[in-house]
């Protein structure tokens, strides 16, 4: 079982990233659950703007997409800027848009996207406000892209660290990692059976 | 297996409700899958403002909450107003807030909310724009409240009905109902094992 | 010069409302600026669901709408619930929707809504997160409805009161009240000249 | 009088950009009103990630910031991706964050940001849904950064062009340009008088 965490901090390596610190904590807990997690810091790569799987010209997104294909668990870790998810996190979502329109990402038999049977969650950091709004956008997009969203799979660290806030972040992260792990295993053993192609054909008949 | 659909139209019965029409379509598909669905039109009930399970004074929310407890699948069907989910849908979310702070809704052993092992989706109607934003808010809140969000569990009908738009609504609804059904059965047979209480205790130790 | 503040707390009078406390602070500062402000606690009134100016059956919205017509400054004060503006605040926005489709609210000559030359702002309270998202929804809707949004016209009080957070709320409220006052006077002396009807006719010709 | 429009399309020049086409239409209308508008296509520039005014290493943002300083009207034109404003538009917002924390952007006497007395609006394109949500995020952020938001300053073009939708886009754009022009002139002749520094000092005393 594998997990991919994309750290969407705006700061390139080797600068310290709060979002990265939260991602590392998640990585340790995943490892305790027997899951190997890789953390990618997006700004360290040359990711082209666009909505295709490969935008060419040295685009380094395809290699990250390969890691996503191999993963059971996908986590977007993003800072909040102006009440909103970071441009880098939105960049990831845009690059995943190809899953909708590129045939290579849909099963020929069932029409299921490659994301079916994978689970997603998110981690958020910020200096004050916006965690819920960011989580809503990330998790909705993941659901739309074909990921399953288990209960309580967002943890955030907003404002000053320490004290009560610290505790809240820590136990919600433990809930998140436990539920992501449970569902990743559940879907590995029980792949989703919905045949999206046939269902679409049934809907086609309703048009008449 | 049971489903509860809350129709959050602003129009009381017996007025025609577009959101209700979409809900009825979902109800028929659930029935085809062997699931009994009940549709509640919220504005027909006396639902008090507040965030407790029972606000007293003739509050009719507790009876709806009982139906939710008995359901495996929960669907919020809402119109969009000014790019936003209807006040009635937000009212439902506020009334569910008691799940977080009222001990009767958490399992004594595991701390799991009563929503664990239930799945949620949403239906949206509107005259032009805002479906994605509404879906994001509804599904994020459901996830936060303990529901599982299967892939592709929102369908909407925005703008003029008919033609291509019609088809899009119809096949996304079929995907939604198929995935909600699959996950409701999966979780019935394989209840989530995460012990939220123990995980919280583990996090408590990290504070030191 | 007059101001109308709608307190969208979920708690009926005479319960203590944090949102009401923030509204009262704004009211005092407006008075210092020579502006008479009235605070309405929405849940104390019988406001029907719907999007018309008068929903009948004892609907008490028309009286509030009259106060809005007489006001130069309009402030929505709302708590945050589940990262979202309260159902009561969304209820206010829905009831204002009639401004778009009811001819009585548009000037016969210019097509300007009755909200033109009025300014709007918002106040937000909550126990943790969501102020920016709520402010974005409220201010966008107000702008769409024809209000002018001066710079820095949202103040919020999220999480524990006291200390730095307290200070932040206080000075942003002072900026808000100063800017609302400045613009209300400016627009009273310099009413907007845009003729929306003629501009619409010009656009009509572009269709060909 | 000058306007700056940033086209946040994901497509580099010379590819055709729908957002660019809408921006050009706005530019023509601004010119008819005697305002010189420049359109910048963001992806054609080397804009570094970050929240400082100048991120170094060949960062081309400072030159764009100079254009913004000289402009009376600022328009963000963005496509919608996954119900959300483009990563490029969020990138612009992040780069403007320096206005909050870099002293060079605040007037020494009044504390007013350089954006005071400037007005902002937005243009949005997309293949189906999300215009309102994007407009809310953009306009809220602009208001927070110190811009004034006149009434009805967002126009969008979502889904298929032509017919009624086309007309809606065209007349809302005319309203937008007329109101941006009116307010830009109004603020040029009547600069905002609020002394943010003094107001902050008054709030400081309230802490005790």
DSSP string, D103-140: GGGB-TTT--BTTTT-EEEEEEEESSS-HHHHHHHHHH
Task: Return the pLDDT at C205.
Answer: 85
Q: How far is CA C89 from CA B88, C34, C85, C93, C116, in A?
A: 11, 27, 6, 6, 21
**CB within 8 Å: A141 and D82:** yes
For β-strands B154-158 and C84-85, DSSP reports them as unpaired
Chains touching chain A, criterion 3+ CB pairs below 8 Å: B, C, D
The Cα–Cα gap between C55 and C75 comes to: 23
């809310």: which residue's tokens? Answer: D136
- The average pLDDT across A94-98 equals 97
Instruction: Write the residue in B10, B51, B144 that is nearest to C51 by C-beta.
Output: B10
Which helix or strand (DSSP H or E) is residue B85 part of?
Answer: strand B84-85
B30 pLDDT tier (thresholds 50, 70, 90): very high
pLDDT tens per residue across all 208 residues of chain C: 999 999 999 999 999 999 999 999 999 999 999 999 999 999 999 999 999 999 999 999 999 999 999 999 999 999 999 999 999 999 999 999 999 999 999 999 999 999 999 999 999 998 778 889 999 999 999 999 999 999 999 998 876 554 556 888 999 999 999 999 999 999 999 999 999 999 999 998 886 5
Sequence-ordered alpha helix ranges (H) in chain C: 18-32, 61-70, 87-96, 98-101, 131-144, 163-189, 196-206
What chains are in contact with C, requiring at least 3 Cβ pairs below 8 Å? A, B, D
| CB–CB contact A158 C129 (8 Å) | yes
Q: What's residue A157's pLDDT?
A: 85
SS (H, E, C) C95-125: HHCHHHHCHHHECCCCCCECCCCCEEEEEEE
Write the pLDDT tens digit of every residue in B113-169.
999 999 999 999 987 788 899 999 999 999 999 999 999 999 988 765 545 568 889
Mean pLDDT by groups of 10 residues along chain D of 208 residues:
98 95 95 97 98 96 98 97 96 97 94 98 89 94 98 85 71 97 98 97 82
Give the pLDDT band (50/70/90) at residue A165. low
Q: Smallest Cα–Cα separation from D153: which of C147, B91, B14? A: C147
Whole-number Å distance between alpha carbons of D120 and D40: 16
Q: Do A129 and C82 touch (CB under 8 A)?
A: no
Q: Work out the minimum CA distance from B148 to partner chain C, whole angstroms.
A: 17
Count of helix runs (H) and strand runs (E) in chain B:
7, 6
Contacts of A192 (CB under 8 A, 6+ apart): A112, A116, A117, B150, B151, B179, B182
Residues belonging to chain A with any Cβ–Cβ distance to chain C shorter than 8 Å: 82-84, 129-133, 136, 156, 158-159
Confidence at residue D164, expressed as pLDDT on a 0 to 100 scale: 57
Q: Which residue has the tokens 């953009």?
A: D138
Give D110-134 pLDDT, tens digit per residue: 999 999 999 999 999 987 788 899 9
Rounded-to-integer distance, Cα A29 and Cα A155, Å: 13
**D136–C140 C-beta distance less than 8 A:** yes
- Contacting A with CB below 8 Å, chain C residues are 82-84, 129-133, 136, 156, 158-159
Position A161 pLDDT exceeds 80: no
CA-based nearest distance D201→chain C, Å: 8
Predicted local distance difference test score (pLDDT) of residue A83: 92
> What average pLDDT does the structure give for chain B?
94
The tens digit of pLDDT for each residue in D155-169 reads: 988 765 545 568 889
Q: Which of C113, C143, C192 sits opposite D149 (nearest CB)?
A: C143
Q: Nearest residue of D to residue B81 by CA position? A: D132
Rg of chain B on CA atoms, in Å: 17
CB D136 within 8 A of CB D103: no
**Measured in whole angstroms, how far is the alpha carbon of residue C22 from the centre of its chain?**
15
* pTM for the structure as a whole: 0.96
Query: Which chains are within 8 Å of D by 3+ CB pairs?
Result: A, B, C
d(CA D208, CA D203): 10
How many of the other CB atoms lie within 10 Å of CB of B2?
16
The Cα–Cα gap between D98 and D64 comes to 14
The DSSP element (H or E) to which B89 belongs, if any, is: helix B87-96
Instruction: Spell out which residues of chain D touch residue B162, defining contact as CB-CB under 8 Å.
Output: none
> How big is chain C, counted in residues?
208
Contacts B114 to A, Cβ<8 Å: none
C61-65, Cβ contacts within 8 angstroms, sequence gap of 24 or more: C61/C95, C64/C4, C64/C6, C64/C40, C65/C95
Cα–Cα distance, D136 to D133 (Å, whole number): 5
ipTM above 0.90, yes or no: yes
Q: Is the dihedral of CA D108, D110, D112, D118 positive or negative?
A: negative
Chain B residues with beta carbon closer than 8 angstroms to that of A115 = 151
Q: What is the pLDDT of residue C121?
A: 98
What is each CA distance from A174 to A36, A181, B99, B200, in whole angstroms? 16, 11, 20, 7
pLDDT for D167 equals 86
Instruction: Using the structure block, give the residue that is written with the tokens 């300053």.
Output: D153
Q: Which two tokens stand for residue B51?
A: 């965030």
* Cβ–Cβ below 8 Å for B194 and A179: yes
Among partner residues A83, A136, A159, which is closest to C132 by beta-carbon distance? A83
């Amino acid at each position: 079982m594998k997990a991919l965490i994309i750290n969407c901090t705006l700061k390139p390596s080797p600068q310290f990233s709060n979002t990265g610190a939260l991602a590392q904590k998640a990585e340790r807990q995943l490892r305790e659950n027997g899951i190997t997690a890789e953390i990618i810091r997006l700004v360290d790569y040359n990711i082209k703007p666009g909505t295709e799987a490969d935008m060419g010209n040295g685009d380094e997104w395809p290699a990250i997409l390969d890691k996503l294909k191999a993963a059971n668990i996908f986590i977007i870790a993003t800072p909040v800027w102006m009440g909103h998810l970071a441009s880098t996190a939105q960049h990831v979502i845009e690059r995943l848009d190809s899953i909708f329109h590129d045939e290579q990402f849909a099963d020929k038999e069932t029409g299921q996207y490659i994301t079916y049977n994978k689970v997603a969650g998110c981690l958020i950091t910020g200096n004050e406000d916006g965690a819920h709004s960011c989580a809503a956008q990330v998790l909705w997009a993941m659901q739309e892209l074909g990921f399953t969203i288990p209960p309580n799979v967002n943890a955030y660290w907003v404002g000053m660290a320490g004290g009560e806030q610290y505790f809240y972040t820590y136990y919600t992260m433990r809930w998140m990692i436990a539920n992501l792990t449970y569902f990743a295993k559940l879907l590995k053993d029980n792949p989703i059976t919905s045949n999206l192609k046939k269902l679409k054909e049934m809907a086609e008949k309703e048009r008449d």
